Structure 1
């Protein structure tokens, strides 16, 4: 497992097949924002609550992990094709050549994106990354699996104001 701190500029973290040129600009529909996810064949944009640093853990697995969604605020899954065998994980505006890469089985992968500490991050907003108690946390789990439809397993909604 790798632990990263990534700048979620434009409220996004990107994961994609090395060599891809993902462009999510026109794909953030109302549904995508609610799902916190934009999916293309070889890339996924993860929507974040805050527009500052977030803690991201990445786990490359051999098979489907156990369901621990009760421990998280928002959980979504999507499929991605990674023909290069290397998956890039980075902040939306990070310099791609410097981004972290993960060796994966070439072909179709399943990703489970679990997000935690969303209420506290939302409340503190731009200052959320100044304290581990308020920092938004993401866990991205990746394993080889046939392509299936994206799904939101558990949905988080911002607190009412």
Structure 2
């Protein structure tokens, strides 16, 4: 179920997506080459791939998970409190639409969000990564991806989740 709220300057979309194979995709609604064979060990440790025209988020569970997508007019403040893992990067959108879907979702039925053509900075934030049940099926994990206009940038980890230390690493 998708819900929309906000103004023309700030749009928030809450989704529940099936993260089969522990993957969520946010990508330009144009031909995209996800190329998992090019994903590196560093990508896996970052739990995020920024691939130019797409973002892959590696989730803690391969079940339905909540995803909030925020389209913002400017860079948000960096919120470290309450988030286990935060990674910044960039994405290009040429089509004017962003697809949000799970790894095995049927792409023609996937949620499409308006995103004016251009280059955007993006911040992927995750919390509840240590809340999974013993069988890994239930948890309080949730995911947020924020977009705002800006030039391309290198991928930067702002907070790295360490399951041994807990969520509040410096």
TM beyond 0.5: yes
3-state SS in 1 of match to 2:148: strand
Choose which of 47, 52, 56 in structure 1 pairs with 2:63. Answer: 52
TM-score under structure 2 normalisation?
0.85
Match of 1:127 in 2: 137
Indicate if the aligned counterparts of 1:17 and 1:88 stay in contact, CA closer than 8 A.
Answer: yes
Match of 1:72 in 2: 83
Runs of at least 5 residues in structure 2 that lack an aligned partner in the other structure: 1-11, 166-170
3-state SS in 2 of match to 1:90: strand
Aligned ranges 1:119-158 → 2 under 5 Å: 119-121=130-132, 123-128=133-138, 134-158=139-163
Distance in 2 (CA, whole Å) between partners of 1:4 and 1:89 is: 9
TM-score under structure 1 normalisation?
0.89
Distance in 1 (CA, whole Å) between partners of 2:137 and 2:17 is: 15
Match of 1:20 in 2: 31
Displacement of 1:125 = 4.6
Distance in 2 (CA, whole Å) between partners of 1:124 and 1:12 is: 20
Displacement of 1:24 = 3.3
Distance in 2 (CA, whole Å) between partners of 1:144 and 1:117 is: 28
Runs of at least 5 residues in structure 1 that lack an aligned partner in the other structure: 129-133
